[in-house]
Amino acid sequence: MGSLGFIFGFFAFLFSAGSFAQQEATILWNPGQRLSWSNFKAEPPKDSEIAATTASGLSYQFSTTEENGKYKLDYSVDTYFYPNRSWYQPDICDEVILSHEQLHFDISELYARKMRKIMDATIFTKNAKAEVKAIYRQINKELAAFQQVYDQETDYSRNIEQQLSWNKKIKDSLAK
Protein backbone atom coordinates (compact mmCIF):
# COMPACT_ATOMS: atom_id res chain seq x y z
CA MET A 1 0.00 0.00 0.00
CA GLY A 2 2.96 2.34 0.32
CA SER A 3 3.72 4.78 3.07
CA LEU A 4 0.68 6.92 2.34
CA GLY A 5 -1.75 4.05 2.43
CA PHE A 6 -5.05 4.96 0.93
CA ILE A 7 -6.36 8.45 1.19
CA PHE A 8 -10.10 8.85 1.34
CA GLY A 9 -11.56 11.89 -0.24
CA PHE A 10 -14.40 14.21 0.38
CA PHE A 11 -15.36 16.94 -1.94
CA ALA A 12 -18.17 19.32 -1.09
CA PHE A 13 -19.96 21.01 -3.90
CA LEU A 14 -21.63 24.02 -2.43
CA PHE A 15 -24.17 25.54 -4.76
CA SER A 16 -26.60 28.30 -4.04
CA ALA A 17 -30.16 29.03 -5.08
CA GLY A 18 -30.87 25.45 -6.07
CA SER A 19 -29.92 26.03 -9.70
CA PHE A 20 -27.27 23.35 -9.91
CA ALA A 21 -29.42 20.72 -8.19
CA GLN A 22 -32.04 21.16 -10.89
CA GLN A 23 -29.55 20.58 -13.73
CA GLU A 24 -27.84 17.46 -12.50
CA ALA A 25 -28.90 14.14 -11.03
CA THR A 26 -29.08 14.49 -7.27
CA ILE A 27 -30.12 12.59 -4.19
CA LEU A 28 -31.90 14.69 -1.60
CA TRP A 29 -30.81 13.87 1.96
CA ASN A 30 -33.37 11.66 3.65
CA PRO A 31 -33.02 10.14 7.14
CA GLY A 32 -34.33 6.79 5.93
CA GLN A 33 -32.09 6.53 2.88
CA ARG A 34 -28.45 5.52 3.14
CA LEU A 35 -25.94 5.80 0.33
CA SER A 36 -24.82 2.65 -1.44
CA TRP A 37 -21.86 2.19 -3.73
CA SER A 38 -24.28 2.13 -6.66
CA ASN A 39 -24.94 5.84 -5.99
CA PHE A 40 -21.32 6.71 -6.83
CA LYS A 41 -21.47 7.06 -10.63
CA ALA A 42 -18.35 9.01 -11.61
CA GLU A 43 -15.18 7.31 -12.80
CA PRO A 44 -12.30 7.46 -10.31
CA PRO A 45 -9.21 9.27 -11.54
CA LYS A 46 -6.50 7.01 -12.90
CA ASP A 47 -3.66 6.23 -10.49
CA SER A 48 -5.45 7.88 -7.57
CA GLU A 49 -4.64 6.73 -4.06
CA ILE A 50 -7.98 8.13 -2.90
CA ALA A 51 -10.54 5.39 -2.26
CA ALA A 52 -13.72 7.43 -2.65
CA THR A 53 -15.06 10.94 -3.07
CA THR A 54 -18.43 12.17 -1.90
CA ALA A 55 -19.80 15.26 -3.61
CA SER A 56 -22.47 16.79 -1.45
CA GLY A 57 -23.56 20.23 -0.48
CA LEU A 58 -26.25 22.70 0.44
CA SER A 59 -28.68 24.42 -1.85
CA TYR A 60 -31.10 27.18 -0.98
CA GLN A 61 -33.84 29.20 -2.55
CA PHE A 62 -36.03 31.94 -1.16
CA SER A 63 -38.54 34.63 -1.89
CA THR A 64 -39.09 37.82 0.06
CA THR A 65 -42.22 39.73 0.88
CA GLU A 66 -42.34 43.14 2.50
CA GLU A 67 -45.18 44.32 4.67
CA ASN A 68 -45.11 47.56 6.65
CA GLY A 69 -41.34 47.78 6.35
CA LYS A 70 -40.78 44.24 7.64
CA TYR A 71 -39.30 41.56 5.39
CA LYS A 72 -40.44 37.96 5.53
CA LEU A 73 -38.61 35.15 3.80
CA ASP A 74 -40.13 31.99 2.45
CA TYR A 75 -37.16 29.69 1.94
CA SER A 76 -35.88 26.16 1.64
CA VAL A 77 -32.44 24.79 2.41
CA ASP A 78 -31.69 21.31 1.13
CA THR A 79 -28.79 18.87 1.23
CA TYR A 80 -27.85 17.03 -1.94
CA PHE A 81 -25.55 14.21 -2.96
CA TYR A 82 -24.26 14.43 -6.53
CA PRO A 83 -23.89 10.88 -7.94
CA ASN A 84 -22.21 11.94 -11.18
CA ARG A 85 -19.47 13.72 -9.25
CA SER A 86 -18.99 11.03 -6.60
CA TRP A 87 -16.84 7.99 -7.18
CA TYR A 88 -15.17 5.05 -5.51
CA GLN A 89 -12.59 2.39 -6.28
CA PRO A 90 -14.32 -0.97 -5.84
CA ASP A 91 -11.10 -2.90 -5.30
CA ILE A 92 -10.19 -0.92 -2.15
CA CYS A 93 -13.55 0.16 -0.74
CA ASP A 94 -15.56 -1.59 1.95
CA GLU A 95 -18.50 -0.88 4.23
CA VAL A 96 -16.37 1.12 6.68
CA ILE A 97 -15.39 3.50 3.89
CA LEU A 98 -19.00 3.69 2.73
CA SER A 99 -20.10 4.66 6.25
CA HIS A 100 -17.36 7.30 6.27
CA GLU A 101 -18.68 8.73 3.00
CA GLN A 102 -22.27 8.62 4.32
CA LEU A 103 -21.20 10.72 7.28
CA HIS A 104 -19.88 13.42 4.94
CA PHE A 105 -23.39 13.59 3.48
CA ASP A 106 -24.94 13.55 6.98
CA ILE A 107 -22.62 16.33 8.16
CA SER A 108 -23.80 18.43 5.22
CA GLU A 109 -27.36 17.92 6.46
CA LEU A 110 -26.38 19.09 9.95
CA TYR A 111 -25.13 22.32 8.45
CA ALA A 112 -28.30 22.71 6.38
CA ARG A 113 -30.18 22.52 9.67
CA LYS A 114 -27.87 25.10 11.18
CA MET A 115 -28.53 27.41 8.23
CA ARG A 116 -32.30 26.94 8.62
CA LYS A 117 -32.04 27.83 12.32
CA ILE A 118 -30.07 30.98 11.57
CA MET A 119 -32.50 31.94 8.80
CA ASP A 120 -35.41 31.51 11.23
CA ALA A 121 -33.74 33.76 13.80
CA THR A 122 -32.60 36.49 11.41
CA ILE A 123 -34.52 39.72 10.98
CA PHE A 124 -33.98 40.50 7.31
CA THR A 125 -33.90 43.94 5.72
CA LYS A 126 -34.33 45.16 2.17
CA ASN A 127 -30.86 43.65 1.62
CA ALA A 128 -32.17 40.11 2.19
CA LYS A 129 -30.42 38.70 -0.88
CA ALA A 130 -26.99 39.79 0.41
CA GLU A 131 -27.88 38.77 3.96
CA VAL A 132 -28.88 35.25 2.91
CA LYS A 133 -25.77 34.93 0.77
CA ALA A 134 -23.60 35.95 3.75
CA ILE A 135 -25.28 33.33 5.95
CA TYR A 136 -24.78 30.71 3.23
CA ARG A 137 -21.09 31.57 2.82
CA GLN A 138 -20.49 31.44 6.57
CA ILE A 139 -22.25 28.07 6.88
CA ASN A 140 -20.22 26.65 3.99
CA LYS A 141 -17.00 27.90 5.58
CA GLU A 142 -17.93 26.20 8.85
CA LEU A 143 -19.03 23.05 7.02
CA ALA A 144 -15.73 22.76 5.15
CA ALA A 145 -13.76 23.19 8.38
CA PHE A 146 -15.91 20.59 10.16
CA GLN A 147 -15.50 18.10 7.30
CA GLN A 148 -11.74 18.59 7.48
CA VAL A 149 -11.70 17.92 11.24
CA TYR A 150 -13.80 14.79 10.63
CA ASP A 151 -11.35 13.46 8.05
CA GLN A 152 -8.35 14.28 10.24
CA GLU A 153 -9.74 12.75 13.42
CA THR A 154 -10.91 9.56 11.69
CA ASP A 155 -7.80 9.45 9.49
CA TYR A 156 -10.15 9.13 6.51
CA SER A 157 -11.91 6.14 8.20
CA ARG A 158 -8.69 4.24 8.97
CA ASN A 159 -8.97 4.99 12.71
CA ILE A 160 -11.89 2.65 13.41
CA GLU A 161 -12.31 3.76 17.04
CA GLN A 162 -12.60 7.40 16.00
CA GLN A 163 -14.84 6.49 13.06
CA LEU A 164 -17.25 4.72 15.40
CA SER A 165 -17.17 7.69 17.76
CA TRP A 166 -17.99 10.08 14.92
CA ASN A 167 -20.75 7.75 13.68
CA LYS A 168 -22.42 8.00 17.09
CA LYS A 169 -21.82 11.75 17.42
CA ILE A 170 -23.40 12.52 14.04
CA LYS A 171 -26.26 10.03 14.53
CA ASP A 172 -27.07 11.65 17.89
CA SER A 173 -26.91 15.14 16.36
CA LEU A 174 -29.26 14.14 13.54
CA ALA A 175 -31.74 12.68 16.05
CA LYS A 176 -32.16 16.08 17.77
How confident is the model over 25-34, as a mean pLDDT? Answer: 97
For 89, half-sphere exposure in the C-beta direction (CA atoms, 13 angstrom radius) is 15
- 87 contacts 38 by C-beta, under 8 angstroms: no
Residue 23: pLDDT band with limits 50, 70, 90: confident
The whole-angstrom separation of Cα 161 and Cα 164 is 5
Looking at the DSSP bridge assignments, the partners of residue 74 are 63
Looking at the DSSP bridge assignments, the partners of residue 53 are 9, 87
Element (H, E) at 67: strand 50-67
Residue 24: pLDDT band with limits 50, 70, 90: confident
For the cut 50, the answer to whether the pLDDT of residue 17 exceeds it is no
What's the pLDDT at 21? 43
pTM greater than 0.85: yes
What's the pLDDT at 83? 98
